[in-house]
Structure 1
Amino acid sequence: MSAPGRFGWWRLLNQVLVVVFVVGLAIGLVLFVRDQDWAPVRALAAQLDPVQVGAALVVAVLINASGLLLGLVSWRALFVDLGAPVGRWTAYRIFFVGFLAKFVPGRFIALPVLLRLGKQINVGPVRLAGVFVLSWAVVALTGMTVGLAAGPALLGGSAAWMLLATVPLVILFARPHLLDRGLTAASRLLRRPPPQVSASSTGLRRAITSQSLSWVVSGHHLWLLAVTAGAPPVRSYLICVAGFAAATVAGLLVMVVPDGLGVREAVLMVGLATVMPVSIATPVVLASRLVCALSEVAIGAGGLALAQYMHRRHGAVPDSATGATRSVPDPSVT
């Protein structure tokens, strides 16, 4: 078959994969809206000042969006280390596809799209999977560590033992090279080739710091919603800010529902019920879910569209033999 023929089939396959991903994303969003009972949120909002409620929702969306962008900084730090030295917009395309996949039932429907994007910049499936696995580990470890701050508010002095759970993250931050040694040792144990790439100390520390800040910033949206609904500001602070991180990590462990739907709410209810009536905590938790969905879809869809445009403008060069694109250096590479 001629090169133009191969290019035509490759382009058709790319288009099909994108359509399937978009359809899956749309189905996930519809399921999210349909399966939620928003009546408690409307009932609580009717009891409060509508201007105050509207302002709180808008600010909460902006707060959570800011936290999400810090998470993007963390992911790119790992991608530059383990993936490829490409421009930021080329890397962001991959991030936003993986980010939006949380709304797709099962999430695995995004895998072919991610593999295609990786192939375009000569990042194979093993390296790409390594970036996402390590990123997920950083997200989980930092989220659990930040979430521990809610322990004293819930358990009092008996929660001191929970500080032991911070040891893995502290060791990883202080001695980042231990990660590469661990991966090499695991490869030898499994009789597999050693890793092709390694995480630098600077990149790993930057990822941990940015992701930790992401959790802290994002958690403030829940605190704002809770205080607006009448929660005591001081007593609810750590429960909301730290508890949000712990609840979100719990949701990340559930892969068969969009964005851990229901799991995060259950964990948050345990904490919020200690500072406000359950009848008030329920709509607050639902409002938090709505705020997260709005900010995540806005950041994800808007970011993907912008990254796609900037990638095509600055970093994509067609390959006449395969129909794929290869990235060229641009000023944003660090």
Structure 2
Amino acid sequence: MSDRWRAVLRAAAVLVFAVAVTAGLVTALRGQDWSVAARILTPGSVGLVAAAFAVNSVAMVFSWLSWRVLLVDLGGPVDTVTSARIFFVGFLAKFAPGRVWTLLANIRMGASAGVGAARMAAVYALTVVISTLTGLALGTVAGLAVLGRTALVLALAAVPVVVCLARPDLVNRGAGRLARLLRRPPPVMSASGRGVRWSIVAQTVCWVVAGVQLWLLAVAQGAPPLRTLPISIGAFALGTVAGVAVVLLPDGLGVREGVLLVALATVLPLPAAGVVTVASRLLCTLSEIAVAGVAVLVSEVVKRRQPHYANAR
């Protein structure tokens, strides 16, 4: 195939990706109940809502750090600007229907930075395993807070995380089994114990901080602060993991809300729980688009201004 046709195919692939992501973003924004903004943004709650937006933005940074630990661990240093560009372009891809877009975006952006496809695929698989395990483990917190001692058996869901901290090689095996389940070649690279542990820690912090976002919105609607905190953290983590399992809907649209509504209804009247649930989706969508968009824009500016980034293109 000639270089000209390769360039045409690359341009076509970029165009298809851009259209898919744009369509996903439009669908995500149009699907929001914007009327909920008037109900959540009362004079006494503006500060809490603003704090929730900021907190969710911080959670995204920890998600990136968890991913970056694995990226560096599997093949050597990747500078901050490049890793942020790869991650956040892939992050925006999650709004497109289907989970394949994120991996394809990571591989494409990684290739432009000299990071091989095998490495990007391994990072993706390991990230899915770690985020799922930590999300399920924190989900038990919500179950324990709602059901009390009768749900102590749910604590068993935290055992895999503890085991993986002690035996990080099990995460690599889990990534291999995930690949086989999806009928894909298993990762050809394995993360070190140190890399897996730090990724688990960063992802756990990400879930906790993201749960605080939901907690702030719930408190703004009158939920009891102390009781609502563990429920918010656990429910958000569990709901997000459940949403990831639904491949056809952009960002698990609707699945996470179902989990949050059930959990929040234990600390708020059902109408208020519904307001918080919808407001959380709206706020998360806006903050994710804003943070990812700013990160990609800043990385592009830095890349164009600094010669060593431009030459790596």
TM above 0.5, yes or no, is yes
Partner of 1:231: 223
Confirm whether residue 209 of structure 1 aligns to residue 201 of structure 2: yes
Q: How does 1:180-329 map to 2 (within 5 A)?
A: 180=172, 196-312=188-304, 313=306, 315-316=308-309, 318=311, 325=312
Q: Deviations over 1:81-123 (max 9, x none)?
A: 1255322222222211221111112243455443322323443
Measured at CA, do residues 165 and 314 of structure 1 come closer, stay the same or move farther in structure 2, by a change above 3 Å?
A: farther
SS at match of 2:45: helix
CA offset at residue 74 of structure 1? 0.5
CA offset at residue 304 of structure 1? 1.6
TM-score (norm 2): 0.88
Check whether the contact 1:90–1:315 (CA below 8 A) recurs between aligned residues. Answer: no
Confirm whether residue 20 of structure 1 aligns to residue 12 of structure 2: no
Check whether the contact 1:18–1:113 (CA below 8 A) recurs between aligned residues. Answer: no
Partner of 2:61: 69
Q: Deviations over 1:114-158 (max 9, x none)?
A: 332232344333332111010111111111111211112111101
* Structure having greater relative contact order (Cα 8 Å, sep ≥ 6): 1
5+ long unaligned stretches in structure 2: none
Check whether the contact 2:74–2:190 (CA below 8 A) recurs between aligned residues. Answer: yes
Partner of 1:33: 29
Measured at CA, do residues 223 and 185 of structure 1 come closer, stay the same or move farther in structure 2, by a change above 3 Å?
A: closer
Structure with larger Rg: 1
TM-score (norm 1): 0.83
Check whether the contact 1:21–1:110 (CA below 8 A) recurs between aligned residues. Answer: no
SS at match of 1:52: coil
Measured at CA, do residues 233 and 131 of structure 1 come closer, stay the same or move farther in structure 2, by a change above 3 Å?
A: same
Q: How does 1:169-188 map to 2 (within 5 A)?
A: 169-180=161-172
Q: Could you tell me how far apart the structure 2 residues matched to 1:186 and 1:287 are?
A: 33
Measured at CA, do residues 111 and 168 of structure 1 come closer, stay the same or move farther in structure 2, by a change above 3 Å?
A: closer
Q: Deviations over 1:208-266 (max 9, x none)?
A: 10110111111111111111111111221211122111111111111211111100100
Measured at CA, do residues 20 and 272 of structure 1 come closer, stay the same or move farther in structure 2, by a change above 3 Å?
A: same
SS at match of 1:51: coil
Check whether the contact 1:83–1:127 (CA below 8 A) recurs between aligned residues. Answer: yes
Q: Could you tell me how far apart the structure 2 residues matched to 1:179 and 1:145 are?
A: 15
Measured at CA, do residues 301 and 209 of structure 1 come closer, stay the same or move farther in structure 2, by a change above 3 Å?
A: same
SS at match of 1:38: coil
Q: How does 1:104-143 map to 2 (within 5 A)?
A: 104-109=96-101, 111-143=103-135
% identity of equivalent residues: 44
Measured at CA, do residues 278 and 66 of structure 1 come closer, stay the same or move farther in structure 2, by a change above 3 Å?
A: same
Check whether the contact 2:64–2:87 (CA below 8 A) recurs between aligned residues. Answer: yes
Q: Could you tell me how far apart the structure 1 residues matched to 2:190 and 2:250 are?
A: 32
Aligned with residue 44 of structure 1, among 15, 39, 42: 39
Q: Could you tell me how far apart the structure 2 residues matched to 1:111 and 1:195 are?
A: 13
**What amino acid does structure 1 have at the position aligned with 2:19?**
V
Q: Could you tell me how far apart the structure 2 residues matched to 1:249 and 1:314 are?
A: 40
Q: Deviations over 1:278-309 (max 9, x none)?
A: 11111111110111011110111111222233
Q: How many residues align?
A: 308
